[in-house]
């Protein structure tokens, strides 16, 4: 049997104890006792089964058009198998440093940057997407006191060529070797005044890959760009590359939220609903792609009433909160922590998320 998935976006208030589902406003959320269909609060213990409901405005007129509910008819407390929360985490880009550059005059030098990205692999197979930046060292007849070549001049050219690239996939900076903390990037004139070759730092830009080679943004893949560096045309000892920060993908991105909504509505086409006027329409997506979210997941099992020992199914309810908004005015997680008291409480963890404004 296919698992049942539900994705909810509570944005308003938590219903008070005793309220009914009809009391939901746009974005309001309620946790209801499935036996009484009345909202519960943190004083309700021993709840056998419950469901979560959110009022949704699909037309933008400020009124509730339909009620989005948790997976299945209800969530039986004893059948809950997971109860977890995850904070939003920014992408941490791949960063590498190049040292040991040795050049001679009047030669071509290149840096080849390969992009390891899940979206690219999906579109083009496991063939790396490459960007190559080529520069030429100064003419031997013009270069003064650099018969062996000027590494600073070559590195300045490469830095500028990378940073001027319209796709903006990478960012390059030059630092003095004595700047251990890499605190002060140098402009071109400052590099020329250095007594020795600078350190060349290159960073992959996490979001820029979506525009590269017209690759569409795709909800099915994590967002981030890993950079691998090679040196074609280099006839001296190959420079040294040291990775100073490995790529860490963004977590709980809005793209993840929207893909989960798509999954909940059906992989192979949107489910349709009948309106009062008889017109059918597709699902309303609530994820805002400009937002960052915190998520809470409840995983549970369902048993068939006809044969509970054999016919079982799974369900997942995922709730997303906008990081930029204050936490729900009601103690939503206090209620869930009480109902699901056999799991570690989540309220303190969620309130401690870095992206969430401080609340009392």
pLDDT at 327 over 80: no
Query: Residue 145: which domain range?
Result: 95-245
**174 and 294 share a domain?**
no
Q: Which residue has the tokens 């213990």?
A: 45
Query: Does any domain span residue 258?
Result: no
Query: Does any domain span residue 222?
Result: yes
**103 and 83 share a domain?**
no
- pLDDT classification of 104: cutoffs 50, 70, 90: confident
pLDDT at 278 over 80: no
**73 and 119 share a domain?**
no
Query: Does any domain span residue 52?
Result: yes
Domain boundary pick from 245, 276, 309: 245
Coil, helix or strand at residue 117: coil
**286 and 170 share a domain?**
no
pLDDT at 193: 92
Closest CA to 335 of 29, 60, 25, 74: 29
pLDDT in tens, 178-220: 999 999 999 999 999 999 999 999 998 877 755 555 554 444 5
Query: Does any domain span residue 328?
Result: yes
Query: Does any domain span residue 327?
Result: yes
Strand-pair category, 240-245 with 108-116: unpaired
Please state, for a pLDDT cut of 90, what percent of the chain lies above it: 37
pLDDT at 145 over 60: no
**60 and 135 share a domain?**
no
**84 and 99 share a domain?**
no
Q: What's the mean per-residue pLDDT of the chain?
A: 81
**127 and 148 share a domain?**
yes
Q: Where are the beta strands (DSSP E) in 15-79?
A: 29-33, 38-39, 49-56, 66-69, 75-76
**153 and 18 share a domain?**
no
pLDDT at 134 over 70: yes
**118 and 203 share a domain?**
yes
Contact criterion met (CB below 8 Å) for 14 and 28:
yes
Query: Does any domain span residue 113?
Result: yes
**64 and 190 share a domain?**
no
CA distances from 354 to 58, 89, 249, 295 (A): 31, 9, 17, 13
Residues 160 and 187: their CA atoms lie apart, in Å, by: 10
pLDDT in tens, 31-51: 999 999 999 998 998 899 999
Per the structure, how many domains does the chain have?
Answer: 2
**299 and 185 share a domain?**
no
pLDDT at 213: 54
Query: Does any domain span residue 252?
Result: no
Chain centre to alpha carbon of residue 180 = 31
**62 and 107 share a domain?**
no
pLDDT at 181: 92
Residues 229 and 121: their CA atoms lie apart, in Å, by: 18
Q: Which alpha helices (H) appear in the chain, and where do they start and end?
A: 118-124, 151-163, 188-192, 254-265, 332-339, 347-351
pLDDT at 37: 95
Query: Does any domain span residue 304?
Result: yes
pLDDT at 274 over 60: no
Domain boundary pick from 245, 273, 305: 245
pLDDT at 12 over 60: yes
The DSSP code for 202 is E
Contact criterion met (CB below 8 Å) for 147 and 138:
no
């Amino acid at each position: 049997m296919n698992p049942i998935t539900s994705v909810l976006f509570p944005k308003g208030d938590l219903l008070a104890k005793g309220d009914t589902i009809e009391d939901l406003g746009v974005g309001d959320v309620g946790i209801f006792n499935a036996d009484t269909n009345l909202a519960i609060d943190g004083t309700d213990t021993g709840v056998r089964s419950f469901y979560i409901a959110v009022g949704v405005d699909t037309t933008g007129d400020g009124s509730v058009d339909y009620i989005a509910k948790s997976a299945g008819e209800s969530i039986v407390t004893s059948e809950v198998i997971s109860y977890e929360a995850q904070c939003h985490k920014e992408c941490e880009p791949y960063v590498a440093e190049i040292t040991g550059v040795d050049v001679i005059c009047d030669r071509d030098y290149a840096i080849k940057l390969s992009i390891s990205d899940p979206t690219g692999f999906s579109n083009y197979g496991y063939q790396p997407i490459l960007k190559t930046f080529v520069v030429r060292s100064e003419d031997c007849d013009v270069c003064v006191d650099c018969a062996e070549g000027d590494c600073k001049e070559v590195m300045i050219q490469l830095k500028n060529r990378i940073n001027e690239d319209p796709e903006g996939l990478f960012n390059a900076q030059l630092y003095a070797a004595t700047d251990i903390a890499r605190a002060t990037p140098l402009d071109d004139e400052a590099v020329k005044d250095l007594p020795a070759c600078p350190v060349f730092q290159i960073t992959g830009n996490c979001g820029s890959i979506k525009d590269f080679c017209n690759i569409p943004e795709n909800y099915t893949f994590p967002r981030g760009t890993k950079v691998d560096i090679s040196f074609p045309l280099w006839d001296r000892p190959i420079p040294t590359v040291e990775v100073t920060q490995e790529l860490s993908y963004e977590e709980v991105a809005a793209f993840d939220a929207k893909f989960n909504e798509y999954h909940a509505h059906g992989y192979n086409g949107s489910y349709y609903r009948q309106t009062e006027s008889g017109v059918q329409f597709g699902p309303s997506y609530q994820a805002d792609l400009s937002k960052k979210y915190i998520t809470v997941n409840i995983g549970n099992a369902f048993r068939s009433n006809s044969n509970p020992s054999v016919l079982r199914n799974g369900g997942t309810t995922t709730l997303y909160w906008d990081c930029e908004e204050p936490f729900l005015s009601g103690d939503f997680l206090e209620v869930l922590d009480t109902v699901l008291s056999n799991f570690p409480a989540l309220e303190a963890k969620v309130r401690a998320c870095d992206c969430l404004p401080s609340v009392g």
